[in-house]
Amino acid sequence: MKKINKTILITGGTGSFGSAYVKFLLKNYNYKKIIIFSRDELKQSEMINQKEFRGKKNLRFFLGDVRDRSRLNLAFKDVNYIVHAAALKQVPAAEYNPIEFVKTNITGSQNIIEAALNNSVEKVVSLSTDKAVSPANLYGATKLCADKLFVAANNLSGKQKIRFAIVRYGNVIASRGSVIPIFLDQKKNNNNFTITDSRMTRFSISMLEAIKMVDWSLKNCLGGEIIVPKISSYKILDIAKAIDPKRRIKFIGLRAGEKIHEELISDNETDYLYDYGKYFAIVTPLVFENAKKVFLKKKKIKIKKIYNSGNNKFLTINQIKKIINKI
């Protein structure tokens, strides 16, 4: 286990990603301090009492909301690294409660940036989403704004040399609210599978892949990059077939703000791509100037088509079955 004499803070640390990421950190690193920052006291209490976290002397739990800048300033004192995972994420909820998503996802992101600058944090990695690419819903639009804020924040760091970077990926397989748990629940209760549209596709990434991507970005980011994984897609119909091929499917129509296919790289971003092996890095001209000597050594590439879940390599039904069996 590698000893790291640093303090890391995770906003939204009691969520699906946050709790899994903290388990990963505890297993692989010996951080000086790991701070879980979230607004839900019940989830914090439950997390404290889980066997994986119970009695860990380097764990700290900090109750607060990213909307509260003064609370963030206090939480970020003597913190070296921040992984920003706190967000409101449900697409339909965003359509009906837009200002709440603006307050958390946009204003909250700016609060993170300012508190990090005030406390001389070394690195901030923000979690984004494929829905931020050519957004068709309010949630995606707020995350696009947040991404722009974090990229531009590198121009504010001055002599502090704080690095702000972004990781962008799709829905995590079997995460809370995703399609696999919904279908499994429908099968358990002997209900029809409900699918909004037969053409629907999504990108496929496991929680461990997402965690390793964040871990890689935290180690390697130069500031201003948007890191995108090279991953497969799946068809929602194939998920249903993998779980129960004989079960009846009911098509219910697209929800407000929902896309048929998601994108990870837009057409406008294809001119700024660099190849990092397992990942792409989107590096705008402004960021390129800030780290020119480093990026000149990387391989700039041009992809031939928009990187979306509908024109990508698909998982087979058997591959999906293997993933489901591991859940």
Q: Hey, where are the domains in the chain? A: 65-171+205-231+264-306
Q: Which helix (H) or strand (E) holds 280?
A: strand 279-282
User: Taking the chain (327 residues) in consecutive chunks of 10 residues, what is each chunk's mean pLDDT?
Assistant: 93 95 96 97 95 93 98 98 96 95 98 97 97 95 97 81 93 82 93 95 94 96 92 96 95 90 90 87 74 59 77 94 87
Q: CA torsion, points 31, 35, 126, 122, in degrees to nearest 10?
A: -60
User: What is residue 192's predicted lDDT score, i.e. its pLDDT?
Assistant: 95
Q: How far is CA 164 from the centre of its chain?
A: 15
- Token pair in block for residue 72: 């963030």
Where helices occur in the chain by DSSP H, the ranges are 16-28, 41-48, 69-75, 91-96, 98-101, 108-118, 138-152, 179-188, 207-220, 236-243, 285-290, 292-295, 317-325
User: What is residue 296's predicted lDDT score, i.e. its pLDDT?
Assistant: 55
- How far apart are alpha carbons 326 and 249 in whole angstroms? 24
- How far apart are alpha carbons 97 and 91 in whole angstroms? 10
User: What is residue 255's predicted lDDT score, i.e. its pLDDT?
Assistant: 85
User: What is residue 289's predicted lDDT score, i.e. its pLDDT?
Assistant: 63
Residue type, 143: K
- Token pair in block for residue 207: 């929680």
Using alpha carbons only, what angle is made at residue 159 by residues 216 and 4, rounded to the nearest 5 degrees? 35
* Catalytic residue (choose from 43, 131, 143, 259): 131
User: What is residue 293's predicted lDDT score, i.e. its pLDDT?
Assistant: 57
User: What is residue 325's predicted lDDT score, i.e. its pLDDT?
Assistant: 87
C-beta neighbour count of 10 within 10 angstroms:
26
Q: Is 131 an active-site residue?
A: yes
User: What is residue 276's predicted lDDT score, i.e. its pLDDT?
Assistant: 86
User: What is residue 173's predicted lDDT score, i.e. its pLDDT?
Assistant: 86
Helix (H, G, I), strand (E, B) or coil at 266: coil
User: What is residue 150's predicted lDDT score, i.e. its pLDDT?
Assistant: 96
Strand 273-275, strand 279-282: pairing:
antiparallel
CATH of domain 65-171+205-231+264-306: 3.40.50.720
* Phi then psi dihedrals of residue 223, to 5 deg: 115, 115
User: What is residue 291's predicted lDDT score, i.e. its pLDDT?
Assistant: 59
